[in-house]
Structure 1
């Protein structure tokens, strides 16, 4: 029992792998590749503890090739060169498999060192990464590999693994482990889809249980001590951070207060108060906008309160703000308008500012008609007078279109009446 339970219970064949039915189920592509014996270069992408290393080891064992293992966090260029130098040896005559864990930590030069040997087939690469491979892995390697995404394991699939762990530990300890179904469910739920974490939590609970009369009892309350809060996958520099923020804004935009509150809670549980406030301020301007302009100062006030009081009390004003945003009428007309204007500027569509808008009062000799001729709108009925404001080459450009909501339609009706349209 010197190694962690997750290692002692590591699956030896594909049938024992927990989860990943979308790629390892009967008839699925990855399973057919493995069972067919022809192993291409593979990249496994997904969070930790979901079976990437396990599946890679199973593949390597079935391939009957010389296996090398490297970890991107510690591997050096000399480690890669050493593997390359052994390619001509007798034991590597059939080719080699390089299992490269955390490949995203290799720099571009190190990845390029592998490329020639991946390309000619003398090295078969099986790499794993917790980061999006399309951002972190050299394109030439990506183009010669097949990417499979591993997903967090569902609670219902973790529970059978806990059952196997219980059987194994009972045999090792020589005692029956008494633990409630509720406690097992809580371990599976709080693992955040990480099988390794669930197994290690179970082992810790079992070893710390009270032992008497051949029974080791795990108290329900001890689960809370081991997992004091939900083990949520969250790293401000990783994909999960951006996935949660994306889901948060899309739930607000989609007018779903239940989902919006859920993703807000995940941000706050991770202590990411700043990201939550920033995203809500963006939502107020981008997605609610002119349909309910009051939302902008209200959300700003809620964010200010949240930052002033801090967590956990910050959840109260932010909860109010999120429900307001999710249930408010929506309009992105202002956002679309400025994006269209920015696109014109980026494309070089500008032009001279009309003379009547310029901030100058002296006409040079080259100006035939002297005077600025600006008309002050407040001197006219309804504080409006028709005059050209856009440059000549853009005078008919339309950036802003009134939204269909009541507020913008009221403004549209007002100005159509004033302008006589």
Structure 2
């Protein structure tokens, strides 16, 4: 009664798909096994990519006594029982969900890891650089598992149908296997479970995509607001708008809408409006604010409508990042210490003592006056460099050039 995915769990590295960079002929983990030197490491990646399988194969091949420890459910007492065996020999401990390991358990474990009495293999779906305690992380090498491609999953399904574990005469069309692969959300385990479900359909016909739809139900959506994948989608969403690909922008918006995290969508869209479009189309900011406000007021499912309007508008709009580039350069200049004192003629305390120091621009033609505002050490700094791709920013550039020319004339007149 064990699930097909369990029965077909790989027993050799070459049966694991998609991870040749780790367990292929020249992979680092393969080298560890060949040299009989296992170092502590953490495997992280999306569910179904082979983390547990690889860890168990390493334990099998390492020739060390190995133990499994779940950071989510096992206690410190359980870990003490495991580590007690180091009195006789060194051991290997596979730690599932290592990002959830409590501090007191880590503190107990660390000395044994440092001494080499315990070698650990940590498993996590979360980015260990963000989720794993630095004390543990600094003692481990970190290896990321590749996402499994649909073609990889099709190969696994084809091998499964040829294996001794599948007692069936069912035949599948290529389209059926591809549909299972597409529906599995990048998880080999899920794909095998779906394949097993299709074997429950009573039919003498070849299994087609339509029959698979009947057996599988709703496809697995590869979305998780607690894991890297969610932020990958947000990033792809912004890059698609920045790249003026309206269809890709709507595609990733659809993924985000499926998660129904309206707050994150709104925040990202407001950022995009000012970071990537900015002065190329200054009207986009208020328009996106209005669309996001409407979406928040009506909620899902209707919120998808104003969001779509705004995303289409942003994707097709001209782009400019001059505003963010300008402020980032100004921040970098200040934070590196390349700054001088504020000129005395624009300091209120100096002006109060001597009002003639400050020339009030509105008292001069076109509000222009021969007066500096930057500190003396920054007098030649230029932060804003306008583009000419949009009519508005081209006009800003022309205005900026005019201002500089007029100020140069005023300087000459006052000499």
SS in 1 for 2:199: helix
Instruction: Report how many residues are paired.
Output: 403
Equivalent in the alignment of 1:193:
186
TM-score, normalised on structure 2? 0.84
Distance 2:114 2:228 in 1: 29
2:368 to 380, 385, 400: 385
Which ranges in structure 1 are unaligned for 5 or more consecutive residues? Answer: none
- Tell me, yes or no, if the aligned pair for 2:12 and 2:57 is still in contact at 8 Å: yes
Task: Report how far residue 57 of structure 1 moved.
Answer: 0.8
| 2:133 matches 1:148 | no
- Tell me, yes or no, if the aligned pair for 2:340 and 2:375 is still in contact at 8 Å: no
Task: Report how far residue 193 of structure 1 moved.
Answer: 1.1
Q: Deviations over 1:316-353 (max 9, x none)?
A: 44334334323332222222333345567768969679
| 2:61 matches 1:57 | no
Task: Report how far residue 371 of structure 1 moved.
Answer: 6.9
Distance 1:16 1:402 in 2: 55
Equivalent in the alignment of 1:414:
399
Equivalent in the alignment of 1:181:
174
**Structure 2 CA distance for partners of 1:9 and 1:370, relative to 1, 3 Å:** closer
- Tell me, yes or no, if the aligned pair for 2:44 and 2:145 is still in contact at 8 Å: yes
Distance 1:276 1:56 in 2: 37
**Structure 2 CA distance for partners of 1:183 and 1:273, relative to 1, 3 Å:** farther
Equivalent in the alignment of 1:108:
103
Task: Report how far residue 125 of structure 1 moved.
Answer: 1.1
Task: Report how far residue 50 of structure 1 moved.
Answer: 0.8
| 2:2 matches 1:19 | no
Task: Report how far residue 86 of structure 1 moved.
Answer: 1.9
SS in 1 for 2:170: strand
Equivalent in the alignment of 2:119:
124
Equivalent in the alignment of 2:29:
30
- Tell me, yes or no, if the aligned pair for 2:43 and 2:122 is still in contact at 8 Å: yes
Task: Report how far residue 194 of structure 1 moved.
Answer: 0.6
**Structure 2 CA distance for partners of 1:397 and 1:233, relative to 1, 3 Å:** farther
Task: Report how far residue 43 of structure 1 moved.
Answer: 1.3
Q: Give runs of aligned pairs for residues 210-221 of structure 1, distance below 5 A.
A: 210=202, 215=204, 220-221=209-210
- Tell me, yes or no, if the aligned pair for 1:43 and 1:127 is still in contact at 8 Å: yes
**Structure 2 CA distance for partners of 1:166 and 1:308, relative to 1, 3 Å:** farther
2:275 to 280, 286, 297: 286
Equivalent in the alignment of 2:236:
247
Distance 1:370 1:243 in 2: 56
Distance 1:417 1:124 in 2: 69
- Tell me, yes or no, if the aligned pair for 2:176 and 2:212 is still in contact at 8 Å: yes
Equivalent in the alignment of 2:411:
none
SS in 2 for 1:300: helix
For the aligned residues, what is the CA RMSD? 3.2
TM-score, normalised on structure 1? 0.83
| 2:160 matches 1:165 | yes
Q: Give runs of aligned pairs for residues 59-78 of structure 1, distance below 5 A.
A: 59-78=58-77
Task: Report how far residue 356 of structure 1 moved.
Answer: 6.4
Q: Deviations over 1:129-182 (max 9, x none)?
A: 11111222233433332222112211111112212333458744xx42244332
**Structure 2 CA distance for partners of 1:270 and 1:396, relative to 1, 3 Å:** same
Which stretch of the first structure deviates more once superposed, 255-264 or 393-402?
393-402
| 2:285 matches 1:296 | yes
**Structure 2 CA distance for partners of 1:350 and 1:285, relative to 1, 3 Å:** farther
Which stretch of the first structure deviates more once superposed, 263-272 or 102-111?
263-272
- Tell me, yes or no, if the aligned pair for 1:354 and 1:389 is still in contact at 8 Å: no
Equivalent in the alignment of 1:404:
387
Q: Give runs of aligned pairs for residues 270-285 of structure 1, distance below 5 A.
A: 270-285=259-274
Which stretch of the first structure deviates more once superposed, 60-69 or 264-273?
264-273
Distance 2:341 2:218 in 1: 59
**Structure 2 CA distance for partners of 1:165 and 1:415, relative to 1, 3 Å:** closer
